[in-house]
Amino acid sequence: MKAVGELEHLVLLALLRLGDSAYGVSIRQEIEHRTGRDVPTGALYTVLGRLEEKGLVCGRAAEVGPDRGGRRRKYYTLEPSGERALAHSHTILRKMAAGLEKKIEALALAAEQP
Amino acid sequence: MKAVGELEHLVLLALLRLGDSAYGVSIRQEIEHRTGRDVPTGALYTVLGRLEEKGLVCGRAAEVGPDRGGRRRKYYTLEPSGERALAHSHTILRKMAAGLEKKIEALALAAEQP
DNA sequence: TTTTTACTATAACTATGTTAGTTTGATCTC
DNA sequence: GAGATCAAACTAACATAGTTATAGTAAAAA
């Protein structure tokens, strides 16, 4: 099985987290608020489109628009193949980092210092 | 700070693990044995080259050749900026996956079933 | 009817990953 | 000492993933 890219990985995690309420804006916020990683909106929609093409996620337009103004949301959910891809990539990284957690945490702390 | 790619991430983790003894072949084996992810040798050398260009790792040719036959090894070590990049990418992923470990493990187990 | 709000979309580009080889330099066998 | 063969690094061309800058859609508010 193929491993997904870095941003794809984050988006799949966001979908797992958000469940029913995952659409462009909420996905973006979830990633940015939780990790601080900037996700340009264009980047997000292109990866969502590619994940959909690959059959890893499924997107459907909402019945009604947002509370005030605005285009219809498009909600995304994980497909079984998306769950597998996520689990696969996650597992590879976990295995490779196993036992290094302390070291990596020390590096992260060191990087914060002036 | 920029996040590194998926294979770059794995290579940086391998360097942290292997310390002094990291060169093309040992890096490849470390990743494959530990995770099962296939790393074509060509792919590995191109990412090592690119990580070196970016200043995240430092490569030096070994003084002597291998035990029997063969071209000189080129040993790689992490530069401070490489340690920071690794810690950064690792932390983003960790934050995004925090609290989902059980769910992801369940998905991984489900994927193994027939 | 113009502006503002809330959202999705995309083309063109840059960066990362892969494939299918080639090259280098040593040692072994004859 | 002329291949064979081993251990390793390298490369060009291609494929996939990520980013930028910008545009489009649809509704409510002014």
Let me know if residue B28 belongs to a domain.
yes
CA distance A69 to chain B (A): 31
Residue nearest to nucleotide D19 (CA to C1'): A43
CB contact under 8 A, A93 and B9: yes
Let me know if residue B88 belongs to a domain.
yes
Residue nearest to nucleotide D16 (CA to C1'): A5
Distance CA A75, CA A94 (A): 29
Phi, psi of A103 (to 5 degrees): -60, -45
What is the pTM for the complete model shown? 0.95
Chains A & B: contacts with CB separation below 8 Å: 101
Instruction: Return the H-helix or E-strand segment holding A58.
Output: strand A57-61
Domain CATH code at residue A59:
1.10.10.10
Let me know if residue B77 belongs to a domain.
yes
Q: Which residues of A touch B98 (CB under 8 A)?
A: 34
pLDDT in tens, chain A (114 residues): 999 999 999 999 999 999 999 999 999 999 999 999 999 999 999 999 999 999 999 999 988 877 777 899 999 999 999 999 999 999 999 999 999 999 999 999 998 876
Give the count of domains, chain B: 1
Q: Residue A40 sits in which domain range?
A: 6-112
Tell me, what's the pLDDT at B28?
Answer: 98
Let me know if residue B27 belongs to a domain.
yes
Q: Which amino acid is at A73?
A: R
CB contact under 8 A, B100 and A16: yes
Token pair belonging to A71? 């285009």
Let me know if residue A1 belongs to a domain.
no
CB contact under 8 A, A86 and B107: yes
Mean pLDDT of B56-70: 85
Tell me, what's the pLDDT at B114?
Answer: 65
**Residue B68: partners with Cβ closer than 8 Å, 6 or more residues away:** none
Let me know if residue B1 belongs to a domain.
no
Tell me, what's the pLDDT at A63?
Answer: 86
